[in-house]
Amino acid sequence: MSHETVRAHVIIPETLLHEVDALVGPRRRSEFFVEAAREKVTREKLRHVAHDLAGSLRKVEAPGWETPEAASEWVRQLRQENEERTFSAELEA
């Protein structure tokens, strides 16, 4: 992947430009828009992958994934276990 930069002419609402300038200043506009575009591209790629994989576990025995509610409970349990491990590690430090 090339890190070479090129100029691109984009048209954005004037109010958005003012908001960006207020946040980062006119000299950091390009950096801000590059970072925002990268985040959006990453999100869109992830969305496409998630769409492509949707239903892929339908015919697989996956404990904790039988229903959306079961999957949510599984995730909650993992998060709780992670918090407990993190808290224990902090106490030991």
28 — pLDDT class (breaks 50, 70, 90)? very high
Count of alpha carbons within 13 Å of 46, Cβ hemisphere only? 6
Residue 77: the pLDDT is: 92
92 — pLDDT class (breaks 50, 70, 90)? confident
> With 0-12 CB in 10 A as exposed, 13-18 as middle and 19+ as buried, what is 20?
middle
What does the mean pLDDT of the chain come to? 89
pTM of the prediction? 0.58
